[in-house]
Amino acid sequence: MKIIVTLNVATYYLMTDQPTTCPVCGTRTEIISDFYHTLLQLQINECLNGNCKHVFFEVEDQL
Ligand SMILES: [Zn+2]
């Protein structure tokens, strides 16, 4: 399967130990696609705030 990631519609954020919250409004988010165990190593999160629905990628800190 070929996965195309369009970089101009989402921003990467680093995973932390804290529950993931929306970087725009601070509401908790839901993982809508989990590619963490693939080569991409990212999760796609969507804000649970119905007025926001910000979608963003979350990646693990590689440092
Ligand atoms: Zn939000």
Give dist(CA 61, CA 52) in Å, integer: 26
Residue 2 pLDDT more than 60? no
> pLDDT tens across 18-51, in order?
788 998 999 999 999 998 888 888 899 999 999 9
24 in any annotated domain: yes
- List, as ranges, residues with CB under 5 A of the ion ligand 1: 22, 24-25, 27, 47, 49, 52, 54
CA 56 to chain centre: 4
pLDDT of 10 reads 57
Q: How far is the CA of 26 from the centre of ligand 1 (A)?
A: 6
4 in any annotated domain: no
39 in any annotated domain: yes
41 in any annotated domain: yes
The radius of gyration of the chain's CA atoms, rounded to the nearest angstrom, is 12
Q: How far is the CA of 38 from the centre of ligand 1 (A)?
A: 26
Give residue 52's domain range. 9-59
For the purposes of burial, counting CB atoms within 10 Å of the CB of 59, is it exposed (0-12), middle (13-18) or buried (19 or more)? middle
Q: How far is the CA of 46 from the centre of ligand 1 (A)?
A: 8
37 in any annotated domain: yes
